[in-house]
Structure 1
């Protein structure tokens, strides 16, 4: 049986495009739209569209994402302090919302088409859009003109790097990016946070159907099913690589000297794609956990490691730092995890390869990958640090149940911000009756009585 031809091909000079006749919205005559479905190296699948009308000369172009919607949304916050920061590349999807915090100026989702530009380019486009009808406003409504002009003047000052400001980019699809100028090291001016979409956001993106009480009841019944420890459950899914049908397996695993976890593995028979993810079970630990291992021997690479989706990873010797949520949950060996990190950085990191990247940045990133390769081949000793605020990560102790001389495990109190990020501050787990109803404490009852008597 022959394999179907892929719809989206790698970007190359010989690749053709599809031309279709379409209506010109300027003169209402027929023009030509050219479509190119391609895969940009080290990034993802996109649809490039270009329209041209031979009658009035109107031209237009647009870029849309053709890749799957990520499991989580992304929120980027960047402190813009100088002209160098204004040159940061931005991939802003049509579903993304950009905001200038100091002005409370927001470019809502859908207001601009998907575009690959810079922060300076976004500011310039916003200034041009606001300035478009200013001469008319000056004569029709001078008060409105003055208000908009003050915003334009402020945006111009930001664009010319005369004043610092905070730029945020929020995309529920997770398909937008903001360049890290210090990659692969952590950028102190850039904060990237991944979050779980709300039900309303999923419905707006078409990820889930509208509310259906019967379907929700059926889903709850499935969620309440008990899974036997020795049972492997199978689910039908679609392959993230070729979009064909594939199978996902789920299994409960009890890790010795740790806890019970859920392992999920996806395999595609058509294209050979494989992936696995680990979800930790049980209650949230009262304290976070910091695991430090001094890697001194090749045998250390074979240690089992469970890196949860809430775990940050550091290797200080090569300035490698993965923030919370990077790579998701993984249950593998130290060697396997380092291989995955190398592959992700080498093949999927945006703004590190291509014509738009400077030679200095290319050499810097290549030098970092060379150091990472030495680490995963154990050509140099290094320190592996796992920092998990929810204590859901595990690193095998080869001397168990005795202490490991090269490994230290520390427990620490989570900060308020960490509890806030994981939603712990809003959890109420005390003072409930058997029916799950909240029972007022004596303090709450006394406060209510005092308010009633006032």
Structure 2
């Protein structure tokens, strides 16, 4: 049994479904009020929307002090998530939102930002705004007497928040004076905003993925801020890009050295190993990296991280070639079960769609994957079945739940080869994705590759509009900063 399977098995034993037979674990612990020993009861269970949670209840028999808490038992996702919801109608205000206690909320139109809360919650967009209004208005009478300027500033924000709750039922235009954007930023990736068009992309909802920074890891308690980096060698620092206070020229030179080290190891058929931190539990672990040459395509970097402590596994694929001047769209018609065994490299910048299933997966959803067509469909089935929380539990609408279950069933049948033929489309603006050509080097009759010019918006999202690849050695120090 693999480490990942052992972890899932142990998690299944620890976190049980909430029912009458569930029993709590009692632990003797110190009371923070009277310093005597009290009893803490722990219950590990699974709840729809929140997945695995830890219920804690403390009671002191000496002074009567009580404290109840709910903590998330879910591991951090591979990346942080930013959900941007454009609210223009009353239906958008009724969208369900799972807010993890590490998530911050902001409304750019009124320059309003709410820091992470003390506990997780299941609410709606209207509920979040109403809670903000309630919290801001709590001490307004006192501010009016002691700090009139602060009172007026907060009153202006309260008026805008109240106006945000007056959206109409009909489909309002983007130019509505009270339309606003709700941004949910969660470094753990465990917050969710309901997608009314699931499993298809929602035109009003944008989800972006990002790598957590060191400061975010420290703030969440996964890294020790006083940890000494002296044990890292200079070569290891270059490999993982952890040089501090270096200018842009040194960064590009360090990148060249990293690529050179990877190529030398690839020629010697060696696997580079360097220390890292597990993105799930923060424990030290090893990341293995090797460059592989894919015939009739280009070189790619395969990275694998395994944590011995929690069993977390992460696989990622990065393209090692230069940025292509054009994007590429690959359309493959799957006619028999043999086509499901074709190798496919889906980079983190590519989108993936199956028109026959009305499936459209935006870029960055699953990161980089090097697998087969069948493997990609099964991974997609696993992602959708485990990370769409609003279609579970008694509160989910029966119509949406049945529709989504039918979609998952069709997706599974497609991966099994029971639904033929169908078409897959891999659209990559960076042209770093690949689908195996069984007739190489001759053209594949079932596959069409189209090269196209990237739009300005695509170049902006990829950071190519401002990149400087010529005379970068002459950058002034001020510009480097």
Q: What TM-score bracket applies, with the shorter chain setting the length?
A: 0.7 to 0.9
Displacement after TM superposition at 1:292 (Å)? 0.9
Residue 394 to residue 151, structure 1, CA distance change in 2 (3 Å): same
Match status 1:220 vs 2:258? no
Deviates more, 1:220-229 or 1:360-369: 220-229
- In the alignment, is the contact (CA less than 8 A) between 1:63 and 1:115 conserved in 2? no
Tell me what 1:278 maps to.
317
Q: 1:177 is matched with which residue?
A: 192
CA contact (8 A) 2:327 2:451 kept: yes
| Alpha-carbon distance in structure 2 between the residues aligned to 1:270 and 1:141 | 53
**Alpha-carbon distance in 2 for matches of 1:125, 1:107:** 11
Cα displacement string for residues 365-419 of structure 1 (whole angstroms, at most 9, x for unaligned residues): 0121122233222423222100111111100111211111221111122223322
The aligned counterpart of 2:216 is: 201
Unmatched 5+ stretches in structure 2: 1-5, 169-177, 241-257
**What's the Cα RMSD here?**
3.7
The DSSP-based 3-state class of the residue aligned with 1:420 is helix
SS of match in other structure, 2:391: coil
1:89–1:178 CA contact under 8 A, matched in 2: yes
Which of 422, 429, 437 aligns to 2:469? It is 429
The answer to whether the Cα contact below 8 Å between 1:49 and 1:61 also exists between their aligned partners in 2 is: yes
User: Aligned equivalents of 2:94 and 2:35: distance in 1?
Assistant: 38
SS state of the match for residue 70, structure 1?
Answer: coil
Query: Does the Cα contact within 8 Å between 1:11 and 1:38 map onto a contact in 2?
Result: yes
Q: Secondary structure at the match of 1:286?
A: coil
The runs of 5 or more residues in structure 1 that have no matched partner are 445-454
**Which sits farther off after the overlay, 409-418 or 259-268?**
259-268
Match of 1:333 in 2: 372
Distance 1:429 1:267, change over 3 A: closer
- Counterpart-to-counterpart distance in 2, 1:161 and 1:48: 37
Residue 174 (structure 2) pairs with residue 167 (structure 1) = no
Change (3 A) 1:105 1:29: farther
Contact (CA 8 Å) 1:43, 1:349: kept in 2 or not? no
Instruction: Tell me which residue corresponds to 2:174.
Output: none
Give the SS at the match of 2:55: strand
- Aligned residue in 2 for 1:257: 296
Distance 1:141 1:243 in 2: 44
Closer/same/farther in 2, CA of residues 290 and 372 from structure 1, 3 Å limit: same
- Mean alpha-carbon deviation: is it higher for 219-228 or for 117-126? 219-228
Match of 1:382 in 2: 422
Question: How far is the alpha carbon of 1:38 from its aligned partner?
Answer: 3.3
Structure 1 residues 157 and 74, CA gap change in structure 2 (3 angstroms): same
For the Cα contact (< 8 Å) 1:234–1:250, is it kept in 2? yes
Of stretches 403-412 and 366-375 in structure 1, the one that deviates more from structure 2 is 366-375
**1:189 aligns with one of 192, 197, 204:** 204
- Compared with structure 1, are the counterparts of its residues 202 and 243 closer, same or farther at alpha carbon in structure 2 (3 Å cutoff)? closer
Contact 2:222–2:281 (CA under 8 A) maintained in structure 1: no
Which residue in 1 is equivalent to 2:75?
A: 68
Q: Partners of 1:97 and 1:131 in 2: how far apart?
A: 20
For the Cα contact (< 8 Å) 1:236–1:245, is it kept in 2?
yes
Deviations 1:296-334 (A, max 9, x none): 222211211111122110111211111111222111111
Please identify, of 323-332 and 236-245, the stretch whose mean Cα deviation from structure 2 is larger: 236-245
Per the normalisation by structure 1, the TM-score is 0.82
CA distance in 2 between counterparts of 1:288 and 1:216 reads 39
Match among 91, 95, 103 for residue 102 of structure 2:
95
Alignment of 1:2-17 (within 5 A): 8-13=14-19, 14-17=21-24
Separation of aligned partners in 2, 1:74 and 1:375: 29
Is 1:406 matched with 2:446? Answer: yes
Sort the Cα spacing of 1:383 and 1:233 in 2 relative to 1 into closer, same or farther, 3 A. same
Q: What residue number does 1:451 align with? A: none
Residue aligning to 1:447? none
Q: How does 1:360-375 map to 2 (within 5 A)?
A: 360-375=399-414
Shift of 1:358: 1.3
TM-score by length of 2: 0.78
**Equivalent of 1:352 in 361, 370, 391:** 391
